[in-house]
Structure 1
Amino acid sequence: MEHLRLLDGRLKLRHLLLVDALTEQGSVVGAAAAMHITQPVATRSLHDLEDILGVQLYERGPRGITPTEFGIAFTEHARAVLAQLTQAARHVDEIADATRGRVVVGTHLAGSNLLLPRAIARVKHDRPLLNVVVHEATPEALLVELSAGRVDVIVGRLTGQSTEHTRRTTLYEESIRVVTGADHPLAGRTRVTFEDLWEYPWILPGVETILRQELAEFFVRNGHDLPANRVEATSFLTVRQLLIETEMIAVLPGLIGADDPLLTTVPMSLEPIGHSVGITLAADRRMTPTVRALIDALETTASEIYDPMP
């Protein structure tokens, strides 16, 4: 049968790694650099793979390459195979030594300041030799990492429902609030209007985030475009320092500044903006014992977290 050509010995693991890198990098040069091979080697391997499959996987253009319909489909399968191989190797290691292991958790702003650190501390108390690797990126980038097996679980805002590829579980609900530095002119006020906020520079999340889209709609409802005087940042350390040292204001998940004496919440509702914080897993991937241990710690920690709505 024709589909058995993938099992005739010509398809190599390097072909799967190449497709993953090509789709992620968007260029042969970038993929070659990511794989630590030369561009001619990458180009030759791509030609070999397309000959094996009998289809064109990428459209070549002046600014790089774009996966065709075949390329999109094959990338999905390649990443699934790579993820399974990664999990298989780690599972064998964990069976060999149950006290050790490694879990890679992806995170973004929501959940990264309170939920995840407490859960890591809890699991490390029980498994001190467990290596926990935290990878911070945008939700979209983390989903790619999850599908390729480079991330085991994503912790943060749930940006959608479960799909055939992902399984999402809500851990708690969190409000979105306006936050300033503790010495800001609006700090301590019992009532703040939208017009009061408009006088100050804003810190907004990046354009690729759902929260940014929701804020844009919030401004429109209040008769304004997005503030011209603004900074765009998703790194909490950057946002926090700007709030402390300037009169900027930011919109953040409610628990981020809850225990920070240098930050304060402005008494103004941003309803209906809010979100669910939870975990995202690959739907078709078997959980290793270390991943299960971290998820148990996350669920226990989440049960202890309460976000009082303003």
Structure 2
Amino acid sequence: MVAVDLLNGRLKLRHLVLVVVIAEQGSVLRAAEHLHLAQPAVTRALRELEQIVGAELFTRGPRGVRPTLFGDAFIEHARTVLAELRRAQERITGLARGDVGTVTIGTLLAGSNVLLPRAIAALKESRPGITVIVQEATFDTQVPRLLDGEIDLILGRLSPLGDEPALRQVSLYSEPVRLVARKDHPAHQALGLKLSDLLAYPWVLPLQQTSLWQELERVFAEEGLSLPANRVECTSILTVRSLLHDTDMVAALPELVATSDLALRTLPLPLTSIRRAVGVTLPARRPPTPSAQLMLDHLQAQASAIMPS
């Protein structure tokens, strides 16, 4: 394999679009249909790109194509370049008009039921032309998409970044986590309720890869207990609420989630060791787009109103 110069003018933007679409479609034919091109034209363009790169980017098979090791590397960078170009377009448009654009928010459980809806409502009132996209997933799942430019920010409980230089965080407020059950749950009638008593009931727990899972595991360990074996693991607030409303399940939820639902009551077992900042995680090396900055401004304003310092 010879040395490759991708800056000699041969590599075109259409090559980047092409390779990403082929990877997403898994087939040259489907990619051609998606791009409204003839299949031979797409095949020629892919061969041209592979000559420029100096390596095969896809392996061909009876069921389509799959990226090679070189293809995976090139596609990752192509997606980043295209994301940056979309951001450049939005920034120019936003600077010119100040009232259009898109902001994509990755949400975790904390902040999603009170803070985010209020901030979105305030943003839409002042900038109705901005489209807001909300996507829910775990923090670990969202970080690569944040770094690739597919989402603009992550809202939720702030996880330790360690020595990760590619991310930065903005703290909005601190919120305790409370144990919650439906308001007529039998545990509310128990005298001298202990954590061990709640093992008699099923639980809704966060996913194992979340920091809240690890913190709950420590809380139980301090009492000489293991996490409940009878459990559902879930981070969808709609599913968690339905399970709590309709069953004897118990859950550990951010206080604002717990207290904003009149069908739920907190249990008298404070989790004093679990209190975390709710905030926003952003790329450290990429400034927010105008739309994302407006969203961040509204999140900060609404957080101050919800949890005044």
Q: What is the TM-score when the length of structure 2 is the normalising length?
A: 0.80
> Which amino acid in 2 is paired with 1:117?
P
CA deviation profile, 1:212-256 (whole Å, cap 9, x unmatched): 232233333333333221111111111111111111101111211
Which region of structure 1 is more displaced relative to structure 2, 114-123 or 138-147?
Answer: 138-147
Q: Does 1:277 align with 2:267?
A: no
**Could you say which residue in structure 1 is the equivalent of 2:120?**
120
Cα distance, 1:97 vs. partner? 2.8
1:247-268: per-residue Cα shift (whole Å, max 9, x none)? 1101111211112110111111
Q: Does 1:152 align with 2:132?
A: no
Whichever residue aligns with residue 104 of structure 1, its letter is T
Alignment of 1:115-194 (within 5 A): 115-161=115-161, 163-187=164-188, 191-194=192-195
Contact 1:190 1:267 in 2 (8 A): no
SS of the residue 1:180 aligns to: strand
Shift of the 277–65 alpha-carbon distance from structure 1 to 2, 3 Å rule, reads farther
The AA in structure 1 aligned to 2:117 is P
SS in 1 for 2:287: coil
Choose 199-208 or 279-288, whichever is displaced more: 279-288
Compared CA separation, residues 204 and 8, structure 1 to 2 (3 A): same
- What is the alpha-carbon distance in structure 2 between the residues aligned to residue 213 and residue 72 of structure 1? 33
* Maintained 8 Å contact 1:6/1:52: no
Residues 202 and 97 from structure 1, CA distance in 2 versus in 1: closer, same or farther, beyond 3 angstroms? same
Answer yes or no: is the 8 Å Cα contact 2:179–2:266 preserved in 1. yes
Structure 2: distance between partners of 1:75 and 1:202:
42
Quote the offset at 1:286 in angstroms: 2.9
Query: What residue in structure 1 maps to residue 266 of structure 2?
Result: 265
1:134 aligned counterpart, secondary structure: strand
The aligned amino acid for 1:276 is A
Deviation at 1:57, TM superposition (A): 7.4
Relative distance call for 1:17 and 1:111 in structure 2 (3 A) is farther
- Quick check: 50-59 or 286-295, which moved more? 50-59
Give the Cα–Cα distance (whole angstroms) in 1 for the partners of residues 258 and 146 of structure 2.
Answer: 28
Displacement of 1:21:
8.5
Length, aligned pairs only: 301
For structure 1, which segment, 218-227 or 46-55, has the greater mean C-alpha deviation from structure 2 after superposition?
A: 46-55
Give the SS at the match of 1:173: strand
Q: CA deviation at 1:157?
A: 1.6
Q: Does 1:111 align with 2:114?
A: no
| Cα deviations by residue, 1:3-59 (Å, 9 ceiling, x for unpaired) | 53344324555546746985xx8x957xx78x958xx99999888766544468799
**What secondary structure does 1:243 align onto?**
helix
Which residue identity does 2:214 align to in structure 1?
Answer: Q
Instruction: Show the counterpart of 1:230.
Output: 231
TM-score, normalized by length of structure 1?
Answer: 0.80
Q: Percent identity?
A: 41
Gaps of 5+ in 1: none
Q: Note if contact 2:10-2:52 (Cα within 8 Å) is conserved in structure 1.
A: no
Residues 71 and 170 (structure 1 numbering): CA distance in 2 closer, same or farther, change over 3 Å? farther
- The alpha-carbon deviation at position 185 of structure 1 amounts to 0.9
Q: Which range moves more in the overlay, 191-200 or 90-99?
A: 90-99
Which amino acid in 1 is paired with 2:143?
Answer: L
**Displacement, 1:67?**
7.9
The answer for the alignment partner of 1:289 in structure 2 is: 290
Shift of the 150–59 alpha-carbon distance from structure 1 to 2, 3 Å rule, reads same
**CA contact 1:15–1:45 (8 Å) conserved in 2:** no
Between structure 1 and structure 2, the one with the greater Rg is 2
CA pair 55-113 structure 1, distance change in 2 beyond 3 A: same
Pair 1:154–1:228, CA change in 2 (3 A) = same
Distance 1:300 1:231 in 2: 35
Correspondence for 2:212: 211
- Written as runs of structure 1 = structure 2, the 5 A alignment for 1:194-205 is 194-205=195-206
How big is the shift at 1:207? Answer: 2.3
Q: Greater CA deviation, 126-135 or 41-50?
A: 41-50
> Matches of 2:160 and 2:71 in 1, distance apart?
25
Q: Which amino acid aligns with 1:199?
A: A
Distance 1:200 1:89, change over 3 A: same
For 2:215 and 2:59, the matched residues in 1 are separated by 34
Distance in 2 (CA, whole Å) between partners of 1:291 and 1:104 is: 8
Note the aligned Cα RMSD (angstroms). 3.8
Residues 20, 75 of structure 1: 8 Å contact kept? no
The aligned amino acid for 1:127 is: R
Q: Distance in 2 between matches of 1:141 and 1:123?
A: 26
Which amino acid is the alignment partner of residue 130 of structure 2?
Answer: L
1:64-88 Cα shifts (integer Å, max 9, x gaps): 97985x7776565434322211101
